[in-house]
Amino acid sequence: MPAYGRSSAYAHPVLRITDARTGETVDAAPARRGLTRVQAHASEPGPSALRVLLVADLLVRALELGGTPVLAMLSGHRGRAELRAAAATLGIRPFEDAHDLASGPGEAQTVHVVEEGGEVPGSGVVVGVAPVVGADAPGPAGQAAPSGSALPDPLTDPSALRLALLSGPRGTPVRLDTDALDEAGRTLARWRRAVATWARQPSRPIPDEVRGRLRAAWEDDLDVPEVLRVLRRVETTADLPDGARFETYAYTDRLLGLELARDLGTLS
Protein backbone atom coordinates (compact mmCIF):
# COMPACT_ATOMS: atom_id res chain seq x y z
CA MET A 1 0.00 0.00 0.00
CA PRO A 2 1.49 3.40 -0.92
CA ALA A 3 2.56 5.91 1.68
CA TYR A 4 -0.22 8.16 2.86
CA GLY A 5 -0.04 11.89 2.44
CA ARG A 6 -2.15 14.92 3.15
CA SER A 7 -3.77 15.85 -0.14
CA SER A 8 -6.81 18.06 -0.50
CA ALA A 9 -7.54 17.05 -4.07
CA TYR A 10 -10.10 14.38 -3.24
CA ALA A 11 -13.73 15.42 -3.71
CA HIS A 12 -16.40 13.40 -1.92
CA PRO A 13 -19.25 12.15 -4.09
CA VAL A 14 -22.83 12.08 -2.85
CA LEU A 15 -24.21 8.82 -1.49
CA ARG A 16 -25.40 6.69 -4.41
CA ILE A 17 -27.52 3.58 -3.98
CA THR A 18 -28.89 0.90 -6.34
CA ASP A 19 -32.67 1.13 -6.71
CA ALA A 20 -33.99 -2.45 -6.69
CA ARG A 21 -37.08 -1.34 -8.63
CA THR A 22 -35.08 -0.27 -11.68
CA GLY A 23 -31.56 -1.63 -11.17
CA GLU A 24 -30.22 1.88 -11.66
CA THR A 25 -27.92 3.77 -9.30
CA VAL A 26 -29.53 6.92 -7.91
CA ASP A 27 -28.75 9.61 -5.36
CA ALA A 28 -29.94 8.51 -1.92
CA ALA A 29 -30.54 12.18 -1.09
CA PRO A 30 -31.36 14.73 -3.81
CA ALA A 31 -29.21 17.82 -4.07
CA ARG A 32 -31.74 20.09 -2.36
CA ARG A 33 -31.02 18.22 0.92
CA GLY A 34 -34.59 17.96 2.08
CA LEU A 35 -35.50 15.48 4.80
CA THR A 36 -35.04 11.89 3.64
CA ARG A 37 -37.18 9.13 5.13
CA VAL A 38 -35.45 5.76 5.51
CA GLN A 39 -38.16 3.16 6.01
CA ALA A 40 -37.26 -0.38 7.08
CA HIS A 41 -39.79 -3.09 6.21
CA ALA A 42 -39.64 -6.12 8.51
CA SER A 43 -42.07 -8.93 7.73
CA GLU A 44 -41.45 -10.94 10.92
CA PRO A 45 -38.79 -11.15 13.63
CA GLY A 46 -35.74 -13.16 12.62
CA PRO A 47 -32.11 -12.77 11.55
CA SER A 48 -33.11 -11.61 8.06
CA ALA A 49 -35.38 -8.90 9.45
CA LEU A 50 -32.58 -7.84 11.77
CA ARG A 51 -30.27 -7.51 8.78
CA VAL A 52 -32.84 -5.25 7.08
CA LEU A 53 -32.86 -2.97 10.14
CA LEU A 54 -29.07 -2.97 10.27
CA VAL A 55 -28.78 -1.89 6.63
CA ALA A 56 -31.33 0.85 7.29
CA ASP A 57 -29.30 1.97 10.31
CA LEU A 58 -26.13 2.14 8.19
CA LEU A 59 -27.96 4.12 5.52
CA VAL A 60 -29.17 6.61 8.12
CA ARG A 61 -25.65 6.96 9.53
CA ALA A 62 -24.10 7.44 6.08
CA LEU A 63 -26.64 10.10 5.12
CA GLU A 64 -26.10 11.95 8.40
CA LEU A 65 -22.33 11.86 7.91
CA GLY A 66 -22.95 13.55 4.56
CA GLY A 67 -25.06 16.27 6.17
CA THR A 68 -28.51 15.00 5.12
CA PRO A 69 -31.35 15.21 7.68
CA VAL A 70 -32.91 11.76 8.05
CA LEU A 71 -36.03 10.27 9.61
CA ALA A 72 -35.79 6.52 10.33
CA MET A 73 -39.05 4.55 10.31
CA LEU A 74 -40.13 0.94 10.84
CA SER A 75 -43.00 -0.81 9.03
CA GLY A 76 -44.47 -4.16 9.99
CA HIS A 77 -46.53 -5.37 12.91
CA ARG A 78 -45.52 -8.97 13.66
CA GLY A 79 -43.15 -9.30 16.61
CA ARG A 80 -42.28 -5.63 16.55
CA ALA A 81 -41.38 -5.42 20.25
CA GLU A 82 -39.06 -8.44 20.00
CA LEU A 83 -37.42 -7.04 16.88
CA ARG A 84 -36.92 -3.60 18.44
CA ALA A 85 -35.30 -5.17 21.50
CA ALA A 86 -32.90 -7.21 19.38
CA ALA A 87 -32.09 -4.16 17.26
CA ALA A 88 -31.29 -2.10 20.36
CA THR A 89 -28.95 -4.84 21.57
CA LEU A 90 -27.04 -4.57 18.29
CA GLY A 91 -26.67 -0.81 18.61
CA ILE A 92 -29.29 -0.03 15.96
CA ARG A 93 -30.77 3.33 16.78
CA PRO A 94 -34.54 3.58 17.40
CA PHE A 95 -36.98 3.78 14.50
CA GLU A 96 -40.25 5.69 14.53
CA ASP A 97 -43.43 3.75 13.75
CA ALA A 98 -44.19 4.45 10.09
CA HIS A 99 -47.98 4.38 10.53
CA ASP A 100 -47.76 7.16 13.12
CA LEU A 101 -46.03 9.59 10.76
CA ALA A 102 -47.39 11.57 7.86
CA SER A 103 -45.29 13.12 5.14
CA GLY A 104 -43.98 16.49 6.18
CA PRO A 105 -43.01 19.59 4.27
CA GLY A 106 -39.60 19.75 2.65
CA GLU A 107 -39.06 16.00 2.39
CA ALA A 108 -36.89 14.90 -0.52
CA GLN A 109 -37.80 11.24 -0.91
CA THR A 110 -38.32 7.93 0.84
CA VAL A 111 -35.76 5.12 0.73
CA HIS A 112 -37.34 1.74 1.48
CA VAL A 113 -35.10 -1.00 2.88
CA VAL A 114 -36.64 -4.43 2.38
CA GLU A 115 -35.66 -8.07 2.22
CA GLU A 116 -35.17 -9.15 -1.39
CA GLY A 117 -38.45 -10.20 -2.94
CA GLY A 118 -40.59 -8.30 -0.45
CA GLU A 119 -43.33 -5.97 -1.55
CA VAL A 120 -43.02 -2.26 -0.86
CA PRO A 121 -46.02 0.06 -0.99
CA GLY A 122 -45.83 3.58 -2.36
CA SER A 123 -43.11 5.31 -4.31
CA GLY A 124 -39.45 5.91 -3.59
CA VAL A 125 -36.11 4.19 -3.85
CA VAL A 126 -35.96 0.51 -2.84
CA VAL A 127 -32.83 -1.00 -1.27
CA GLY A 128 -32.86 -4.80 -1.36
CA VAL A 129 -31.24 -6.88 1.39
CA ALA A 130 -30.44 -10.57 0.92
CA PRO A 131 -31.53 -12.96 3.68
CA VAL A 132 -29.49 -14.57 6.45
CA VAL A 133 -28.75 -18.26 5.99
CA GLY A 134 -27.30 -20.97 8.21
CA ALA A 135 -28.21 -19.27 11.47
CA ASP A 136 -27.02 -21.84 14.01
CA ALA A 137 -26.32 -19.47 16.86
CA PRO A 138 -27.79 -21.02 20.05
CA GLY A 139 -31.46 -20.36 20.61
CA PRO A 140 -33.34 -20.18 23.94
CA ALA A 141 -33.08 -23.94 24.48
CA GLY A 142 -29.44 -24.16 23.39
CA GLN A 143 -30.49 -25.47 19.98
CA ALA A 144 -29.86 -24.11 16.51
CA ALA A 145 -32.13 -21.28 15.42
CA PRO A 146 -33.25 -21.83 11.79
CA SER A 147 -32.59 -18.90 9.48
CA GLY A 148 -35.43 -16.41 9.45
CA SER A 149 -37.39 -18.12 12.24
CA ALA A 150 -35.89 -16.72 15.43
CA LEU A 151 -33.64 -13.95 16.61
CA PRO A 152 -30.24 -15.02 17.97
CA ASP A 153 -29.82 -14.76 21.71
CA PRO A 154 -27.86 -11.73 22.93
CA LEU A 155 -24.15 -12.53 22.87
CA THR A 156 -21.46 -11.63 25.37
CA ASP A 157 -20.55 -8.94 22.86
CA PRO A 158 -23.49 -8.23 20.50
CA SER A 159 -21.13 -6.19 18.31
CA ALA A 160 -19.74 -9.51 17.05
CA LEU A 161 -23.17 -10.29 15.62
CA ARG A 162 -23.35 -6.79 14.13
CA LEU A 163 -19.94 -7.23 12.47
CA ALA A 164 -20.85 -10.69 11.16
CA LEU A 165 -23.97 -9.25 9.53
CA LEU A 166 -21.94 -6.35 8.07
CA SER A 167 -19.15 -8.47 6.59
CA GLY A 168 -20.81 -9.44 3.30
CA PRO A 169 -22.39 -7.39 0.49
CA ARG A 170 -26.00 -6.63 1.37
CA GLY A 171 -27.18 -8.19 -1.92
CA THR A 172 -25.56 -11.53 -1.04
CA PRO A 173 -26.99 -13.94 1.55
CA VAL A 174 -24.89 -13.82 4.71
CA ARG A 175 -24.08 -16.99 6.64
CA LEU A 176 -24.66 -16.52 10.35
CA ASP A 177 -23.16 -19.49 12.16
CA THR A 178 -20.76 -20.18 14.99
CA ASP A 179 -17.68 -19.85 12.75
CA ALA A 180 -18.80 -16.45 11.43
CA LEU A 181 -19.55 -15.17 14.93
CA ASP A 182 -16.22 -16.46 16.29
CA GLU A 183 -14.29 -14.78 13.47
CA ALA A 184 -16.14 -11.51 14.01
CA GLY A 185 -15.44 -11.71 17.75
CA ARG A 186 -11.72 -12.24 17.18
CA THR A 187 -11.55 -9.32 14.75
CA LEU A 188 -13.34 -7.01 17.19
CA ALA A 189 -11.08 -8.01 20.07
CA ARG A 190 -7.97 -7.37 17.97
CA TRP A 191 -9.21 -4.01 16.68
CA ARG A 192 -10.27 -2.82 20.13
CA ARG A 193 -6.89 -3.70 21.61
CA ALA A 194 -5.18 -1.91 18.73
CA VAL A 195 -7.38 1.20 19.07
CA ALA A 196 -6.67 1.34 22.82
CA THR A 197 -2.93 1.08 22.09
CA TRP A 198 -2.96 3.67 19.29
CA ALA A 199 -4.83 6.10 21.55
CA ARG A 200 -1.72 6.38 23.74
CA GLN A 201 0.12 8.15 20.92
CA PRO A 202 -0.31 11.80 19.87
CA SER A 203 -3.30 12.32 17.65
CA ARG A 204 -2.64 12.72 13.94
CA PRO A 205 -5.10 13.71 11.21
CA ILE A 206 -6.62 11.07 8.98
CA PRO A 207 -4.72 11.18 5.68
CA ASP A 208 -6.95 12.51 2.92
CA GLU A 209 -6.29 9.40 0.85
CA VAL A 210 -7.61 7.16 3.62
CA ARG A 211 -10.63 9.36 4.29
CA GLY A 212 -11.31 9.47 0.56
CA ARG A 213 -11.21 5.69 0.23
CA LEU A 214 -13.57 5.26 3.15
CA ARG A 215 -16.06 7.83 1.90
CA ALA A 216 -15.86 6.51 -1.66
CA ALA A 217 -16.66 3.03 -0.35
CA TRP A 218 -19.72 3.82 1.70
CA GLU A 219 -20.99 6.47 -0.71
CA ASP A 220 -20.72 3.95 -3.59
CA ASP A 221 -23.83 1.86 -2.93
CA LEU A 222 -23.05 1.58 0.80
CA ASP A 223 -20.13 -0.80 0.20
CA VAL A 224 -19.41 -1.76 3.81
CA PRO A 225 -17.19 -4.77 2.96
CA GLU A 226 -14.83 -2.33 1.19
CA VAL A 227 -14.89 -0.07 4.27
CA LEU A 228 -13.76 -3.06 6.33
CA ARG A 229 -11.00 -3.82 3.83
CA VAL A 230 -9.73 -0.24 4.12
CA LEU A 231 -9.62 -0.62 7.92
CA ARG A 232 -7.59 -3.81 7.58
CA ARG A 233 -5.10 -2.04 5.32
CA VAL A 234 -4.84 0.86 7.77
CA GLU A 235 -4.20 -1.64 10.57
CA THR A 236 -1.17 -3.14 8.83
CA THR A 237 0.35 -0.25 6.86
CA ALA A 238 3.82 0.37 8.29
CA ASP A 239 4.20 4.06 7.43
CA LEU A 240 1.01 5.33 9.06
CA PRO A 241 1.35 7.00 12.51
CA ASP A 242 -0.58 5.29 15.30
CA GLY A 243 -2.39 8.53 16.06
CA ALA A 244 -3.75 8.58 12.50
CA ARG A 245 -4.80 4.93 12.79
CA PHE A 246 -6.75 5.79 15.93
CA GLU A 247 -8.52 8.74 14.32
CA THR A 248 -9.35 6.62 11.26
CA TYR A 249 -10.98 3.88 13.32
CA ALA A 250 -12.86 6.35 15.52
CA TYR A 251 -14.16 8.21 12.47
CA THR A 252 -15.23 5.04 10.64
CA ASP A 253 -17.01 3.73 13.71
CA ARG A 254 -19.50 6.58 13.34
CA LEU A 255 -20.77 4.52 10.40
CA LEU A 256 -20.12 0.98 11.62
CA GLY A 257 -21.30 1.37 15.22
CA LEU A 258 -18.99 -1.37 16.54
CA GLU A 259 -17.77 0.43 19.70
CA LEU A 260 -14.18 0.17 18.49
CA ALA A 261 -12.98 2.62 21.15
CA ARG A 262 -14.70 0.72 23.97
CA ASP A 263 -11.45 -0.45 25.60
CA LEU A 264 -9.73 2.92 25.84
CA GLY A 265 -7.94 3.26 29.18
CA THR A 266 -8.20 -0.44 30.03
CA LEU A 267 -4.70 -1.53 28.98
CA SER A 268 -2.08 -1.70 31.72
Least confident span in 40-49, 94-103, 157-166, 199-208:
94-103
- Tell whether the model's pLDDT for residue 256 goes beyond 50: yes
pLDDT class for 138, splitting at 50, 70, 90?
very low
What letter represents residue 203's amino acid?
A: S
| Contact call for residues 25 and 55 (beta carbons, < 8 A) | no
Q: Is residue 200 part of a domain?
A: no
- Residue 232 belongs to some domain of the structure: no
Model pLDDT, residue 103: 52
Domain contains 29: yes
With respect to residue 195, please indicate whether it lies within any of the assigned structural domains. no
Averaged over 110-127, what is the pLDDT? 86
Residue 97 clears pLDDT 90, i.e. is over it: no
pLDDT at 4 (0 to 100): 46
DSSP single-letter state for residue 84: H
- Residue 26 neighbours by CB distance under 10 Å: 14
Sign of CA dihedral 90, 160, 60, 210: positive
Domain membership flag for residue 65: yes
- What is the rounded average pLDDT of the residues 218-247? 96
For residue 57, pLDDT beyond 50: yes
Q: Please state, in angstroms and as integers, the Cα–Cα distance from residue 92 to each residue in 193, 196, 207, 256, following that order.
A: 23, 24, 29, 10
**Domain limits at 90?**
16-157+171-176
CA distance 215 to 225: 13
Instruction: Indicate whether 217 belongs to any domain.
Output: no
Top pLDDT among 151 and 23 is at: 23
257 lies in a domain? no
Helix 47-65 to helix 208-219 angle (10° resolution) is: 130
Q: Residue 111 domain-assigned?
A: yes
